[in-house]
Amino acid sequence: MKLSYVAAAALAGVANAIPTITATGNKFFTSEGKQFFMKGVAYQLLPDDPLVDTEQCGRDAALMKTLGANAIRVYHVDPKADHSGCMSEFADAGIYAIIDLDTFNTYILPDDPWWNSTQVAAYGAVMDAFSKFDNTLGFFVGNEVIARANQSQAAPFIKAAARDLKAYRDNKGYRKFPIGYSAADIAELRPMLQDYLTCGGNNSEIIDMFALNSYEWCDPANYNTSGYANLQSMAVDFPVPMFFSETGCNVPGPRLFEDQAAIFGPEMINDWSGSLIYEWIQEENNYGLISYGPKVDATATGENIAGGYTRKGTPLPVTPDFDNLSKQWATITPTGVSLSAYDAKHVSTRACPTSTAGGWLIDGNVKLPAVGETYSGSYTASATATSSPETTGTGSGTGSAATPSSSNNPAPVNKQVAGMSAGLVGVMLFFTLWL
């Protein structure tokens, strides 16, 4: 009896297995050697951790599968919680997860950045919690840390975080989860930031994937008028996978999601690895693909009610947005290239950008801050961070609202006022709406 139980459990494990994902060159590949393209959604029902309610995850995963999704992005999790039920539900639906490593009190501050052992330990704890799941795709060390033109001094700290979490991953013997960064679409900084995070020639110090939160395609638009042609021009043969970690402009609405045909079409398919739509749950910002019932009074309280919206239950498609996205994804079936046929030599490592007056503040391939260092006021080829005590604070500042500066990017203004993901703005809104 005992032997048959063990055998049954082993067979169940095989049945529930899902291929793992790695990054090679500028593409993602499954462990079966197939190129992987993301069709995903941002998933954060609650501020602390949406991956702890197995029944809710099962309901959501089933509808996401119907939608055509194969990935979720989760901004905040509790590393001490049990995520096995939810991750199994998503794996059974063929859905992978990208997890943000920072927490409310450990994110990298844009105006006064530091990197210390408290942050390393907190980020590492999140990685520990998700390293055992085959459908963990990768991790972000930051989300929109740099959201204004004068905040690029934080870039070396983002890169240091990637360096130390890659070392943590390797020292722990985990598989090569891609470690990356999710950037705000700031026209004056985006080209320099993406190049800086992958420059220098030291693979242990660069990010493994670069993601962009972009809302440039607002209906009516096309590949050229939206600004996507410009994004593509800076993505050609980029050295690591690049994808949209948030997209889906809702101005004027309803959303048609016609940008998906461009992202997965001949113009962009060779250099982009898909997109994540913002967001799953309907909130005041009107970016939701589903709701859990009608809006309630903003002052209403309850176990699963906050900010005027129910946060749990049977997911109900928001029309026509849900159907519009489903129809778009149903027509998109990219096959890409197999790992055995892929030659990564064609990708190009970019030069480290030089500083510019009133813009990019990092001059060349500066020395990255070590653990326990804080910003000293300048970043040139010969100046870097200075040592500070390990007791330096871990991110309790209030920050200020980001002002998107891309002329083609009006949508984030709405999202950052009421959305869940916009760096410091999102953090402050969490505390305002949830505590």
Residue for token pair 């090569």: 176
Does 246 qualify as catalytic in the annotation? yes
Catalytic residue selected from 89, 144, 205, 216: 144
Length of the chain: 435
Q: Which residues contact 195 (CB under 8 A, 6 or more apart)?
A: 350, 351, 352, 353
Q: Distance (Å, rounded) from C-alpha 369 to C-alpha 296?
A: 48
Does 205 qualify as catalytic in the annotation? no
Residue closest to 249 by CA, chosen among 274, 205, 279, 224:
279
3-class SS at 256?
coil
Distance of CA 95 to the CA centre of its chain: 15
DSSP 28: E
Strands laid side by side in the 114-115 sheet: 114-115, 373-374, 386-387
Catalytic residue selected from 89, 205, 216, 246: 246
Assess whether the previous peptide bond of 320 is cis (omega < 30° from 0): yes
Count other Cβ atoms within 10 Å, centred on residue 289: 27
* Cross-strand partners of 242: 210
Q: Distance (Å, rounded) from C-alpha 97 to C-alpha 131?
A: 11
Q: What is the largest CA-CA distance in the chain?
A: 74
Query: Cα separations (Å) of 366 from 140, 362, 381?
Result: 22, 7, 5
Q: Distance (Å, rounded) from C-alpha 363 to C-alpha 378?
A: 9
* Cross-strand partners of 281: 290
Which amino acids are annotated catalytic? 144, 246
